[in-house]
């Protein structure tokens, strides 16, 4: 067998397969990488767009709020704007710019930031209007209708001066907002004194002039009552009870030579008539207890009679003054107001109306028929008591002066009754009564009626004069 050279076979396909495989692998890898890069670029664009949207949202809010702040120079809202914009930036960074991803409290805050500009505008308009109203009140003297309450705490006026920058009180005020509640920012004012110390806060949601210590102005109501009375036919009836106890006045003769007669109206009768027929009670009913107290203390306290004092006593009430912090009236079990202080105020206001409108000054001409005097005056128990007590007091004073010269003269009066109410008196009692051989030792004891019986209190004095103030003898009506 002859030798043959081995036949070499050249593989031309495997390399191609490998190349094809490598190409396929490379293509797949590149495709995957390209997809990854494409998605990364998309995320990058989204992140940049979101960050830009955050910046735009923040810039828009900042621009709008600053413009509104500049348009309302009377409000110091710089700290409120700065603080809320910083919080907004922090929340946007943490939660992004897509509202559906925000927690509910963040949504509420962002919504309130959006409407904060409107709240500043409204607060600016409100403050401007209220500052104007307060300025008008200040133009009137203290203690007059429509003016400031003469008895208000001076600190209250200072806080308002600072809040509205309407006075000389040194200090500052700034507006801030509660941003946590749905429905819009809730504004409030922080007042600081000259040292920067906070002296008060005021919610501005329902603020109006009623919060300022201004005295109600009843001018229109008083004039309306006067006009109504002047049209009332009762003033032409000489026998009407309004003319009771008033003297008949002889007037000039008429053209035929007949003497004419007239009368003035009884002021107290007219005041009671005004309460029932001229709507004076309704005005007092329209006032809050605080407003009524303010009106009484500043305007009508001098129109109270001793009878009113006796009715209103014992209710935490001081003569001619009512606590300006009064917030509620006393009521009965059904809720009906039965507070004697309001009754006293109504009486005083009716008398005030009668005087201011001159309703009891005019002489009513009844013509040539002379009217009857029609006296109906009856002394009230209180007036009888005042007369009796003053007589007793005069006897005691005379005895007190003379007892040094005549020590044996017996004390003429042993009991003095109160002129303010039916439940107080002072009684002279012998401290040594029943002690055999002991000298008389007279003491004056304040007694109060409890359960229909007078009982001694622990108020005991050697001299009756020391107890007279308990019985109301400082009352100017008795001087």
Alpha carbon distance 71, 125 (integer Å): 11
pLDDT in tens, 127-143: 666 767 777 777 788 88
**Range from 133-137, 254-258, 315-319, 378-382 that averages highest in pLDDT:** 254-258
In the predicted structure, residue 434 carries a pLDDT above the cut 60 = yes
| Position 408 confidence tier, pLDDT thresholds 50, 70, 90 | low
Residue, of 79 and 209, whose pLDDT is higher: 79
Long-range contacts formed by 268-272: CB under 8 A, 24+ apart:
268/305, 268/351, 269/241, 269/242, 269/243, 269/244, 270/229, 270/242, 270/354, 270/359, 270/360, 271/347, 271/350, 271/351, 271/353, 271/354, 272/350
Is the overall model pTM greater than 0.85, yes or no? no
**Range from 248-252, 268-272, 279-283 that averages highest in pLDDT:** 279-283
- Looking at 67-76, 126-135, 420-429, which range is the least confident one? 67-76
Alpha carbon distance 97, 339 (integer Å): 62
pLDDT in tens, 291-347: 999 999 999 988 887 666 555 554 434 456 788 778 888 888 888 888 888 988 999
pLDDT mean across residues, the chain: 75
pLDDT of residue 40: 60
Residue 458: count other Cβ atoms within 10 Å of its Cβ.
6
pLDDT of residue 479: 37
Residue, of 16 and 308, whose pLDDT is higher: 308
| Position 412 confidence tier, pLDDT thresholds 50, 70, 90 | confident
pLDDT of residue 201: 73
In the predicted structure, residue 367 carries a pLDDT above the cut 60 = yes
Q: Report the percent of the chain where pLDDT is more than 90.
A: 9
**Range from 149-163, 212-226, 370-384, 450-464 that averages highest in pLDDT:** 212-226
Q: How far is CA 293 from CA 222, 236, 252, 325, 446, in A?
A: 18, 36, 46, 8, 31
In the predicted structure, residue 7 carries a pLDDT above the cut 70 = no
Average confidence (pLDDT) over 390-414: 71
Average confidence (pLDDT) over 101-109: 86
Q: How far is CA 169 from CA 78, 137, 153, 155, in A?
A: 22, 17, 15, 10
Average confidence (pLDDT) over 18-46: 58
* Sign of the CA dihedral running 345, 350, 355, 360: negative
Q: Quick check: 427 and 444 in contact, CB under 8 A?
A: yes
In the predicted structure, residue 409 carries a pLDDT above the cut 70 = no
- Looking at 22-31, 115-124, 161-170, which range is the least confident one? 22-31
In the predicted structure, residue 3 carries a pLDDT above the cut 60 = no
| Position 221 confidence tier, pLDDT thresholds 50, 70, 90 | very high
Average confidence (pLDDT) over 234-259: 82
pLDDT of residue 470: 67
């Amino acid at each position: 067998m002859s030798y043959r050279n081995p036949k070499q076979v050249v593989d031309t396909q495997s390399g191609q397969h490998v190349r094809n495989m490598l190409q396929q692998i490379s293509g797949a890898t590149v495709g995957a990488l390209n997809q990854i890069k494409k998605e990364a670029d998309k995320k990058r664009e989204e992140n940049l767009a979101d960050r830009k949207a955050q910046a735009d949202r923040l810039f828009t809010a900042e621009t709008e709020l600053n413009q509104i702040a500049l348009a309302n120079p009377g409000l110091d809202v710089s700290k409120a704007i700065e603080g809320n914009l910083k919080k907004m930036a922090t929340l946007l960074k943490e939660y992004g710019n897509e509202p559906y991803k925000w927690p509910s409290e963040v949504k509420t805050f962002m919504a309130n930031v959006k409407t904060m500009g409107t709240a500043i505008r409204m607060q600016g308009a409100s403050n401007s209007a209220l500052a104007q109203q307060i300025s008008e009140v200040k133009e009137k003297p203290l203690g007059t209708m429509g003016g400031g309450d003469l008895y208000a705490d001076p600190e209250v006026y200072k806080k308002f001066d600072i809040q509205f920058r309407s006075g000389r009180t040194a200090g500052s005020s700034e507006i801030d907002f509660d941003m946590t509640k749905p429905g819009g920012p809730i504004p409030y004012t922080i007042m600081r004194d000259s040292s920067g110390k906070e002296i008060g806060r005021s919610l501005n949601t329902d603020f109006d002039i009623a919060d300022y210590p201004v005295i109600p102005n009843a001018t229109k109501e008083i004039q309306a009552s006067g006009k109504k009375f002047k049209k009332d036919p009762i003033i032409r009836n000489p026998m009407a009870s309004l003319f009771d106890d008033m003297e008949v006045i002889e007037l000039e003769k008429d053209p035929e030579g007949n003497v004419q007669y007239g009368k003035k109206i009884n002021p107290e009768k007219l005041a009671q008539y005004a309460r029932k027929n001229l709507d004076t009670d309704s005005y007092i009913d329209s006032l809050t207890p605080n407003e009524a107290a303010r009106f009484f203390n500043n305007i009508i306290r001098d129109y109270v009679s001793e009878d009113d004092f006796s009715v209103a006593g014992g209710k935490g009430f001081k003569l001619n003054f009512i606590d300006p912090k009064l917030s509620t009236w006393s009521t009965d079990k059904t809720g009906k107001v039965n507070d004697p202080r309001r009754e006293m105020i109504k009486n005083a206001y009716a008398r005030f109306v009668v005087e201011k409108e001159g309703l009891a000054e005019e002489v009513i001409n009844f013509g040539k028929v002379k009217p009857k005097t029609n006296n109906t005056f009856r002394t009230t128990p209180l007036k009888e008591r005042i007369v009796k007590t003053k007589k007793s007091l005069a006897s005691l004073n005379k005895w007190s002066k003379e007892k040094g010269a005549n020590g044996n003269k017996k004390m003429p009066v042993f009991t003095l009754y109160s002129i303010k109410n039916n439940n107080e008196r002072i009684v002279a009692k012998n401290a040594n009564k029943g002690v055999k051989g002991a000298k008389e030792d007279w003491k004056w004891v304040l007694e109060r009626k409890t359960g229909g019986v007078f009982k001694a209190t622990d108020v005991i004095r050697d001299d009756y004069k020391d107890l007279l103030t308990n019985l109301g003898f400082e009352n100017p009506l008795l001087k």
